[in-house]
A and B are shown apart, each in its own frame.
Chain A
């Protein structure tokens, strides 16, 4: 099944478009017309057959009517002869069989019947039979069969026949067709027994009927040579037929017997279509005969058939014209397609140069074909240029392939190195970030302390002022002051320590920044290298180049940040060192003051003076502290910046790390791709080698 389907499909595929179009056009043009025509014929045929049947019955009835009139007239003649007493007298004289009497009586009777029947058209001869002897016979009109009929009527064959025997038993006139004579046509006699006379002689009158009337009637009635109209006697013999049937045709007898025995004829239906497709019409005559018309449908409807055949001829003609038109249209439609197919074949064979020349010869018959052709030509051109480009590109690729391969390999290696370096850098930066975070906290604390110091110093200042006032006012207060001063010394010592710690942290930051700077310089170099390599890798390396440049920018920003940080830290260190010196001096002063205070209240004045100095000094310190606080804020800000940058750096480095991993993978892929590309390029070369551009 499947095979068949495929086969079928295969056939459809193999069938040319041209033939398919032909078939479609033909189907459209002929089949509907053909079907409707044939259907029309069928219905016309049945209607015709019915009406012809009626007509046929009418015809045989008409013939019957005519013949009946004829036979009636003849019957009257024979009746009158039988009743004629004069004739009877003459017959008696003839029967005497005396020379003189008999012969003259015969002549007299001859003249008499001549005169009686001379103007009739039905009786052509007469016989008087007396005791089975033809005592008188006379032609009324000349016909050569006369003697033969006359002889037959008194032959043993006829005398012993049922027909002859029957005439004595009835008063009826018997019509008998003599078909076994050696004559061209059947001969008809009408026979009637004469009234029985006392002498016991059996006499009958026999009239020879002019059969030409019968033949003329049926000949005139027939409407077609091959449709026989027949007169059939009581023995179902064909008496007359317009066809070439011989007399007493046995065939016809059998056939007619068969037909007459058909039940429908017995039922009185007198026109039927038999199984043999003939239209049979029957009319029963009074003399016991039948008139039958046996019309083959084929002949009855021959005109129909002629019409049919002429119509079929016409159809064929139409089909032929349709075929020609279909042929032309199909050809017109498929010719450019064929051209296109040819073009495609050329393209398939790689002969692109010929395409344009051939396309000039193609005459597109419609819009679609024209479009198709134009598109096809463009396509061919594109293919040509593409093949050209591919060729040159392939050549370039070919020449650079090995290099690319090398680069890809080296990139692969470098990438893994970068990867490792960046891994380290990231780790470093991450630590740095932690340190910065710590510094930040410290700085914050420092700042708070500074603020606190400032507040304290402010308080000190206030207190010193107050002390001074107090000292001025009261010396007792000086002692409190001295106590407070001691506390100050302690606090200042603590501050000193703090600042010293701070300095240490700043140095740590400085070291870290230096390290970042180093790493950053290295990153910058790597990014530069990567961007160079990426530019070499062309399109594939473009993404990588962007990353590399970002890395570089970041690296530069880091550098700038580290410089700033360095500067800030340097300043911090400077100030720290300064504050430490001052602090030391403060402490020293305090330390010197305290024994003085304690030891010499007298010296109180000095102290007061000293206190003024200290106050001034404190103002100075306060100013420094403000500076430090300011510096501290700067540092804090810078540190925050650094922190952000470091955080950025970390994420960037992580990205870089990931990217470099990808880069490494890319490089590997690129390597394999390059290998494949080499293979493909060789294939490509083989491919475009087919094109003749």
Chain B
């Protein structure tokens, strides 16, 4: 009894000592005010003389963020590194160990798991996560987690969407593929380069929406059931049949489509509908066409679920200033950060309430993006997603270009998938 008490007492004393010595990350307001740091209660205390490197792909956005962040933390110097999101991880891998990589960087959410494997990301303090979670959608935040640990904060959300030329289709675009097929029969004119609907169908990312038309759900609802990718399903076969059917209104090879076939023709006003990524919104808008944005039409009443993704901000595991870097990430994910993102890039932050961003309520386009993201399937980032990326383009090509029977195509897919899985046990 007394022994127990002793142990408890000692533990308490030690606990207090430890938290005191280690320069605790969480302190009360009064302490923070003494240090002259403007933070909220239970805010992170940053390291002194912190100098951060922020790697983003948009300088406008970066400048907006640094400006806003320095208003709160003027003592934290932030250097902007510009680079593609896809390259961010490489930069961290290469320069991180030597202390020269970015402290904070943006990347697509599907990269998170791999980054975690290589120990590149610092976990975000759970208190900050729960603070952020009051604003950010659960769907977005969930994609930041690996094994229940949050490794970043969502900054923007993106999914494929359908742009249309109002000059061609008028104010009332089609709402279903049935209507679209009808329209295409009238409108399609290959000789004059007129197409009712174009998209880079050979891209497995883009084609996923079509494959999902009958309910195919890669790796299950959560996208993490690697042993049940769903490729053997009837739903996928039907999805493949739909792909084959699309050939009738998209009389272009996947190869051609891949080589930027659709975008110039849409800008030229020769294409009525184009299924494309949000990253081309600015391009289309500035092209002068009478642009409309809509969610993907239904097929036989089914809602198509495109892949959706989150662009997230991360703290590099190699940073010397983890607390300052975390503060910056937090700022980027905050409402202020979201406003800057919208203002500078017209991208859609994954906020629960988009209307709190100024000007958002009148922005049909952005709201359409948000609407589309709502039904989107978060792109899986498990280790077998690569099998999808690697095998599916060939399957689509075979079906779309070569007219392979969907059943055969499915079988081929399954065989190749199994080979890949089998190879896991023999090493590369």
The interface of chain A, by Cβ under 8 A from chain B, is: 97, 99, 102-103, 106, 110-112, 115, 125, 127, 133-135, 137-139, 142-144, 146-147, 150-151, 154, 180, 182, 226, 243-246, 249-251, 296
Contacts and interface: CB of A to CB of B under 8 A. Distances in A.
A146 B97 contact: no
B290 interface: no
Given A143-B147, A144-B149, A133 B98 contact: yes
A147 B122 contact: yes
A97 B147 CA distance: 31
Given A137-B118, A144-B147, A147-B119, A296 B14 contact: no
Contacts of A182: 22
Query: 4 nearest interchain CB pairs?
Result: A251-B10, A115-B427, A144-B149, A137-B119
Contact of A125 (B11, B119, B121): B119
Contacts of A99: 90, 94
B317 interface: yes
A112 B3 CA distance: 50
Contact of B94 (A103, A111, A147, A246): A103
Interface of B: 3-4, 6-7, 10-11, 14-15, 17-18, 22, 90, 93-94, 97-98, 116-123, 146-149, 317-318, 427-428
A251 B14 contact: yes
A182 B90 CA distance: 28
B146 A106 contact: no
28 contacts: A97-B98, A102-B93, A103-B90, A103-B93, A111-B428, A112-B427, A115-B428, A125-B119, A138-B117, A138-B119, A139-B117, A142-B117, A142-B146, A144-B148, A146-B119, A147-B121, A147-B122, A150-B119, A154-B97, A180-B22, A226-B4, A243-B7, A244-B11, A249-B10, A249-B11, A249-B14, A250-B10, A251-B6
Contacts of A115: 427-428
Given A102-B94, A150-B317, A245-B11, 10 more contacts: A99-B94, A110-B117, A111-B428, A115-B428, A142-B116, A147-B119, A147-B317, A150-B119, A244-B11, A296-B3
A138 B117 CA distance: 6
B315 to A, nearest CB: 10
B147 A142 contact: yes
Contacts of A250: 10, 14, 17
Nearest to B316: A147
B116 A146 contact: yes
A115 B22 CA distance: 38
Most chain A CB within 10 A, of B118, B148, B149, is at B118
A309 to B, nearest CB: 15
Contacts of A243: 7
Contact of A246 (B15, B97, B146, B317): B15
A144 B124 CA distance: 11
A201 to B, nearest CB: 14
B7 A245 contact: yes
Nearest to A253: B14
Contacts of B116: 139, 142, 146-147
A226 B97 CA distance: 44
A80 B227 CA distance: 32
A192 B3 CA distance: 40
A251 B12 CA distance: 11
Contacts of A150: 119, 317
Contact of B118 (A102, A106, A154, A180): A106
A125 B6 CA distance: 37
Nearest to B96: A134
Contacts of B117: 110, 138-139, 142
Contacts of A127: 119
A246 B121 CA distance: 27
Nearest to B113: A142
Contacts of A133: 97-98
A144 B94 contact: no
A251 B7 contact: yes
Contacts of A112: 427
A107 to B, nearest CB: 9
Contacts of B118: 106, 110, 137-139
A375 to B, nearest CB: 64
A654 B29 CA distance: 142
B11 A139 contact: no
B3 A144 contact: no
Contacts of B11: 244-246, 249, 251
A134 B97 contact: yes
A250 B147 CA distance: 31
Contact of A106 (B7, B15, B93): B93
Contacts of B147: 142-144
A493 B7 CA distance: 162
Nearest to A146: B119
A226 B7 CA distance: 12
A541 to B, nearest CB: 97
Given A246-B14, A249-B10, A251-B11, A97 B119 contact: no
Most chain A CB within 10 A, of B11, B18, B119, is at B119
Nearest to A130: B97
A137 B117 CA distance: 8
B47 to A, nearest CB: 14
Nearest to A182: B22
